[in-house]
Structure 1
Amino acid sequence: MSGRTAPLAGRVALVTGGGSGLGRAVTGALLADGSRVVITGRNEAALKETAAHFGAQVSYRVCDVSRADDVGELAAGLAGEEISILVNNAGIAGPVAPLTEITPQEWDEVFDVNVRGVFLMCRAFLPAMTGRGAGDVINIASVSGKRPLLRRTPYCASKMAVIGLTATLAGEVGPLGVTVNSLSPGPVSGPRMERNFRLEAERTGSSYAQAEQEFVGRSALGRMVTEDEVGEAVTAMLRMRGLCGADIDLSAGMVAR
């Protein structure tokens, strides 16, 4: 029997990469459902600003999830907290180039953050969850792990690795009362995609508007998803008590087409 706790009110969540973007949106959604949140990341200024924005129910810790020592110190520092929700959101986009022009260092950096970081965080925080027989892990993957995205091989490969990690880990800890799932957002509107559209327009000699339309026209809804929609999806998954070992697309129909 699953030890999942519902509803979310009163629980403590740990969100990596929580200082901005999707991590900040996930934090806001968890707070709205009554959870207390600890955010982590490498940028202390961003973490501090986000914590101040949300108020007393959010605290922060500086941590590079790709570094085992950092994660160990984070776990030790939070030993007094009953972390029952772990959202592995930290990730980097990596280089935009053909595979043959990507350096081993660039490849390793993407995998260190996007995959090793998930491994280290789960390794550090799962024992307490399995010991209590309750807890939830959500790993943020991407639809780019499941469809071609040219000149982005390290990122795509790393996100497919996260999906594989999720499925196997769910089988290991599900019998112990802990659920593990992944959420695969499609392109999310915001500064990162705006940069991508500018670069694509320059590369093809088209306008920004043409580059954007060419991209979003591939989705069933003809648009990108928003950061707030990703945050809402995380809390919706946490309320789905039978969900375990699943990968959920949130792509406005990008994968379906």
Structure 2
Amino acid sequence: MSDPESVRTPAAGLADEDVSLLVNNAGVAGPVKPLVGIEPGEWDDVFAANVRGVCLMCRAFLPPMIAAGRGDVVNVASVSGKRPLLNRTPCTASKMALLGLTRTLAGEVGPRGVAVNSLSPGPVRGPRMDRNSRLTAELTGCTVQEAERDFASRAALGRLVEGTEVARALVAMLGMPGLCGADIDRQRE
């Protein structure tokens, strides 16, 4: 979604629809290695997907919501945007940027009737987490299971969350009138 033309196509296809909800949930995990080993292109790829893509989607879908005086935007961020995640600098920095984008955009369009919030889940079970655990294990010399346990130990629930739990949290956020500029997360401090 980091290509403007790729974003214009779905926006144009929905031009005659009453779109009042935008969930930005696309993103990439990026490299798992120290910053000094990250190539500029790898950094750019992460920011293109995790930040630029959200920006482009909002630019495409916000104008009709603003014109209607109502709508919701939920940006799926990550708790890694709130605390260090070693060997994951591009992902962490991009999620921090996404939180800033969310809060700033909420101030811009909230008074015009469009709520903008973010949801920052902890580690979510699935192929992406499997990849991150495997790459972390390769980098640090621990086992994949140890890497997964380490990720889970930082989550408020002490475990990986399921995708369905993230979806239910997102739906719950949409049922909170007046919520704008907020980030909902579950993490251990």
Q: TM-score, normalised by structure 1?
A: 0.70
Q: Which residue matches 2:20?
A: 84
Who is 1:130 aligned against? 66
Matched, 1:99 2:99: no
Name which one, 1 or 2, has greater alpha-carbon Rg.
Answer: 1
**Counterpart for residue 84 of structure 2:** 148
User: Corresponding residue for 1:230?
Assistant: 166
CA offset at residue 221 of structure 1? 2.4
Q: Distance in 2 between matches of 1:108 and 1:202?
A: 24
Residue pairs, 1:64-75, within 5 angstroms: 65-75=1-11
Q: How does 1:99-248 map to 2 (within 5 A)?
A: 99-248=35-184
Name the CA distance, whole Å, in 2 between partners of 1:207 and 1:155.
22
- RMSD in angstroms over aligned alpha carbons? 1.5
Shift of 1:218: 3.0
- Measured against aligned partners, the alpha-carbon deviations of 1:104-126 in whole angstroms (never above 9, x if no partner) come to 11111111111111111111111
**Alpha-carbon deviation of 1:201?**
3.3
> Structure 1 159/214 Cα, relative in aligned 2: closer, same or farther at 3 Å?
closer
CA distance in 1: counterparts of 2:44 and 2:144, whole angstroms: 32
Identity of aligned residues (%): 65
Higher share of residues assigned strand: 1
Residue 198 and residue 94 in structure 1: after superposition, are their counterparts in 2 closer, same or farther (change >3 A)?
Answer: closer
Distance in 1 between residues matched to 2:159 and 2:165, nearest whole Å = 13
Q: CA deviation at 1:203?
A: 3.8
Aligned length: 189
Cα distance in 2 for partners of 1:204, 1:119 equals: 34
Note closer, same or farther for the CA distance 1:139–1:219 as it changes in structure 2 (3 Å cut): closer
- For the Cα contact (< 8 Å) 2:123–2:151, is it kept in 1? no
CA distance in 2, matches of 1:203, 1:102: 13
What is the alpha-carbon distance in structure 2 between the residues aligned to residue 233 and residue 119 of structure 1? 23
How far apart are 1:141 and its partner, in Å?
A: 0.6
Contact 2:78 2:95 survives alignment (8 Å) = yes
> Separation in 1 of the partners of 2:44 and 2:60?
22
Q: CA deviation at 1:73?
A: 2.4
Report the Cα offset of residue 179 of structure 1. 0.3
Counterpart residue type for residue 43 of structure 2: W
Q: CA separation of 1:209/1:104 partners in 2, compared to 1, >3 Å: closer, same or farther?
A: closer
Work out the CA distance in 1 between the residues paired with 2:72 and 2:82. Answer: 24
Offset from partner CA, 1:135-158 (integer Å, 9 cap, x none)? 000001111111111111111111
Gaps spanning 5+ residues in structure 1: where?
Answer: 1-64
